[in-house]
Structure 1
Amino acid sequence: MNVHFIAIGGAAMHNLAIALHNKGYKVTGSDDTIFDPSKSRLEAKGLLPEVFGWFPEKISSDLDAIVLGMHAKADNPELLKAQELDLKIYSYPEFLYEQAKDKTRVVIGGSHGKTTITSMILHVMHYHERDVDYMVGAQLEGFDVMVKLTEDNDFIVLEGDEYLSSPIDRRPKFHLYKPNIALLSGIAWDHINVFPTYENYVEQFSIFVDSIVRGGSINYNEEDAEVKRVVEASENQIRKIPYTTPDYSVEDGETFLETPDGPMPIEVFGTHNLNNLAGAKWICQHMGIDEEDFYEAIATFKGASKRLEKIAETKTAVAYKDFAHSPSKVKATTEALKQQFPDRDLVACLELHTYSSLNAEFLKQYKGALDAADKAVVFYSPHAVEIKKLETITHQQIAEAFERDDLIIYTNPDDFKDFLFSENLKDKSLLLMSSGNYGGLDFGEVEGLIQ
């Protein structure tokens, strides 16, 4: 099968391209620019375009399918040529469904926690040598690729993103997978550039629940009031199985999960991660892993990439980075680190980097998000606001949104770095939360701060 990728360099797209190449498909692609790690990974497989740019001459009737990435525009020259030739054009999730339609589809949805839960499930499967197909949004320890597709595996585990499918398909990705087994971890307004109202955003999760195949099942976090309401209001003929955060304790910076055999030390921590673990346990049991085997495997799970990832640690200090950027994630992550090290002052730094977080109206959602921190810092780039063509936000708007009189705010990367490197971190915990890099911060240098 000959498949061409328009915008092959995206994080999701290049992983799908590699998965199809590994499956024996003939894969080609184009993009206007490609950065690492996508660039080097495509190059290693012989899939990197020789020249960057869009070339309509690459599109011919010999192609069996076109996969269109979100990075491409609706007027992309290659897309227009494909439409002219009446070729079959798939969005990323549409093509994944085509690959998975004869398998048992396990889809993990939610505004937060889905990457971690999917990672936990795959870790347990890998630990017990159960081979499954999958698509996950982070690089996992012990896994070479983020997408795996085979002809033989019975199960496919999919991280169910609620963002749009493609420039010409405005449906959320997770509406297209038609799960047999689903999970919904939490609902907290995000992606306001696409879902301008909270009600519109929540509606996407109702559609997701209704998309589960008849006779299927959903596990849902009943501690999230909106999740509980959405699932229980659905008239879809499916099994609805709630889960809650399991009992656990924290002693001297180590978390112990209560199990039938007594307290068990685990690598991950924080109420939100223990809640994620409870959901993952249910899904693994649906997939044939018994409770005892789940506990054995999950004890060695260190976390998904960029999710509460330890940078460095000494006897008196620790530093973590986290992908958290939405208000609910920031709050959960900050509280988790304070709970894990309650006797240390917590210095929490948040970069406002996404479209939503840099929106003056959405900023109000961050109320209380950094309350668990002893010292709270917010960094944002006025240039990023300009690039995203948003209204200018002020220091005062940010301070009022977080409702902290002592909030420290930086807009200059050098000023933020000066603050960070002048901070005495003895007997402290440092948390760096961002989907960016604070205007050019080398996280490797942070390790030297707590030596």
Structure 2
Amino acid sequence: MRIHFIAIGGSAMHNLAIALHKKGFKVTGSDDVIFEPSSGRLANYGLLPTEFGWFEENITPDLDAVILGMHARLDNRELLKAQAMGLKIYSYPEYIYEQSKDKLRVVIGGSHGKTTITSMILHVLNFYHRDFDYLVGAQLAGFETMVKVTDSAPVIIIEGDEYLASPIDRRPKFHLYKANIAVISGIAWDHINVFPTFGDYISQFTQFIETILPEGKLIYSENDLELKKIVLNSKANVEQIPYAIPAHEVRDGITYLLPQHTALQVFGDHNLMNLNAARLVCKELGINEVDFNAAISSFTGAAKRLELLNSKNQTSVYKDFAHSPSKLKATIDAVKAQFTNRKLVACIELHTFSSLNKTFLEQYRDTMNEADIAIVYIDEKTFKHKKMEPLDQTDVQTSFNDQDIKFFNEAGALESYLRSLNFENTNLLLMSSGNFGGMDLVKLALELDV
């Protein structure tokens, strides 16, 4: 098979390219810019384009398929030539389905927790040396790539994103996988540039349920009342399996699953919910609760999800991917509940299109109330890059409903402020899907005044 990737440098795209290369396919690709770690990984397999840019000569009649990344524009010269030649053009989720249509497909959907649930399932299956394929949205310990597709594996575990499949396919990615077993972790409005109303967003999950194959299984969080309503109203021919927070206790900063008192390396109600979803999936795959608990006890978390940067005395510094309102609140609440005797300094970088929208910003109301010091950072260059109207301190304090929130729009000023604080008996939580203006978070964590 000869496959060409347009916009090969994307996170999922370059991992799929490597997976197909390892499967024995002839893979080529193009992009106008490729950053690390994509460039290094592609180079390791001889897949890094020799020259950046789009070149019509890359599109030839002998190609079996073209895979189009979201980064490409509609007027991309390679795309236009492939369309003119009548070549088969896939989005990457379409091609994942193409490679897995004879397998049992487990698809993890939801506005939050997708990566963690998927990672937990992969960890348990790997613990027991099961043969499986996968697509996950983060780099995991013990896994070389974020995508694996083989001929041998009988099952594939897919993190199902609700964002659009490609520039020419405006369907959400998770609609394309046709799950046998599906999970929905919860619904919280996001991607307002594509789904401008909450109703638009919710309808994507209603449709997702309808894509589950007849007599399939739907595992869903019954704690999410909006989700529970759409599930119970669904006419889809699927078995509905609800889940909630499992029985547990917290002692001396460690969370234990009950009744077996299984010590966990992750914490927080949101992670316990994620764990319960993963447990139910693993049960469907033939792994009982005792065996699941034995494996999950060594799970340390997905990358950038409550990732511990440093711990000293009574101070811990965490980095987390949280950026949406629901993720922000859940992460802050988790750290406060786990360390009830410590203060918390919580800092979020608003970085995504949704979070920088003045109307959507109101969704953040009261989300940082549990923090002892709440900080919001926005890189002032982000507004210029995204061509959006800037937000100021008043906008942030009003939307968050907290006049005490500290606001920074310059990374140096934020770092100076954090270094001026005394972190004795105080945790620091740094949350962003960006990079805090290039701040060295590990160096900061090691040098704070404790």
Residue aligning to 1:119 = 119
User: What is the distance in 2 between the residues matched to 1:315 and 1:209?
Assistant: 48
Which aligned pairs between 1:174-193 and structure 2 lie closer than 5 A? 174-193=174-193
User: What is the distance in 2 between the residues matched to 1:321 and 1:381?
Assistant: 18
Residue aligning to 1:303 = 301
Please state if 1:276 is matched with 2:274. yes
Describe the superposition over 1:317-361 as per-residue Cα deviations: whole angstroms up to 9, x where unpaired.
100000000000000000000111111110000000000000000
User: What is the distance in 1 between the residues matched to 2:251 and 2:87?
Assistant: 60
Residue aligning to 1:343 = 341
Report SS of the residue matched to 1:439: helix
User: What is the distance in 1 between the residues matched to 2:33 and 2:437?
Assistant: 20
Residue aligning to 2:59 = 59
User: What is the distance in 2 between the residues matched to 1:108 and 1:263?
Assistant: 27
User: What is the distance in 1 between the residues matched to 2:123 and 2:298?
Assistant: 9
Which aligned pairs between 1:300-449 and structure 2 lie closer than 5 A? 300-449=298-447
Question: Structure 1 residue 236: deviation in Å?
Answer: 0.7
Q: Is the 8 A contact 1:6 1:78 kept in 2?
A: yes
Residue aligning to 2:104 = 104
Q: Which moved more, 1:419-428 or 1:333-342?
A: 419-428
Question: Structure 1 residue 257: deviation in Å?
Answer: 1.2
Residue aligning to 1:256 = 256
Tell me the amino acid that sits aligned with residue 109 of structure 2: G
Residue aligning to 1:166 = 166
Residue aligning to 2:220 = 220
User: What is the distance in 1 between the residues matched to 2:20 and 2:385?
Assistant: 35
Q: Is the 8 A contact 1:311 1:446 kept in 2?
A: no
Report SS of the residue matched to 1:125: helix
Question: Structure 1 residue 178: deviation in Å?
Answer: 0.3
Percent same amino acid among aligned pairs? 55
User: What is the distance in 2 between the residues matched to 1:32 and 1:118?
Assistant: 31
CA RMSD of superposed structures (Å): 0.8
Where in structure 1 do 4 or more consecutive aligned residues deviate above 2 Å? none
Question: Structure 1 residue 383: deviation in Å?
Answer: 1.9
Describe the superposition over 1:285-337 as per-residue Cα deviations: whole angstroms up to 9, x where unpaired.
10111111100000000000011100000121100000000000000000000
Report SS of the residue matched to 1:119: helix
User: What is the distance in 2 between the residues matched to 1:228 and 1:110?
Assistant: 13
Q: Is the 8 A contact 1:425 1:449 kept in 2?
A: no
Tell me the amino acid that sits aligned with residue 27 of structure 2: V
Tell me the amino acid that sits aligned with residue 438 of structure 1: F
Which aligned pairs between 1:227-246 and structure 2 lie closer than 5 A? 227-246=227-246
User: What is the distance in 2 between the residues matched to 1:103 and 1:80?
Assistant: 33
Which aligned pairs between 1:77-156 and structure 2 lie closer than 5 A? 77-156=77-156
Tell me the amino acid that sits aligned with residue 28 of structure 1: T
Question: Structure 1 residue 437: deviation in Å?
Answer: 1.4
Question: Structure 1 residue 250: deviation in Å?
Answer: 1.3
User: What is the distance in 2 between the residues matched to 1:440 and 1:416?
Assistant: 12
Question: Structure 1 residue 220: deviation in Å?
Answer: 0.5
User: What is the distance in 2 between the residues matched to 1:43 and 1:356?
Assistant: 34
Report SS of the residue matched to 2:258: strand
| TM-score in terms of structure 1 length | 0.99
User: What is the distance in 2 between the residues matched to 1:264 and 1:154?
Assistant: 30
User: What is the distance in 2 between the residues matched to 1:392 and 1:310?
Assistant: 32
Which aligned pairs between 1:192-207 and structure 2 lie closer than 5 A? 192-207=192-207
Tell me the amino acid that sits aligned with residue 157 of structure 2: V
Which aligned pairs between 1:41-56 and structure 2 lie closer than 5 A? 41-56=41-56
Tell me the amino acid that sits aligned with residue 244 of structure 2: T
Question: Structure 1 residue 449: deviation in Å?
Answer: 2.9
Describe the superposition over 1:68-113 as per-residue Cα deviations: whole angstroms up to 9, x where unpaired.
0000001001000101111000001000000010000000000000
Describe the superposition over 1:394-414 as per-residue Cα deviations: whole angstroms up to 9, x where unpaired.
211110111112100001111
Describe the superposition over 1:171-222 as per-residue Cα deviations: whole angstroms up to 9, x where unpaired.
0000000000001000000000110000000000000001000010101000
Please state if 1:7 is matched with 2:7. yes
Residue aligning to 2:30 = 30
Question: Structure 1 residue 386: deviation in Å?
Answer: 2.0
Count of residues paired in the alignment? 449
Tell me the amino acid that sits aligned with residue 108 of structure 2: I
User: What is the distance in 2 between the residues matched to 1:280 and 1:272?
Assistant: 12
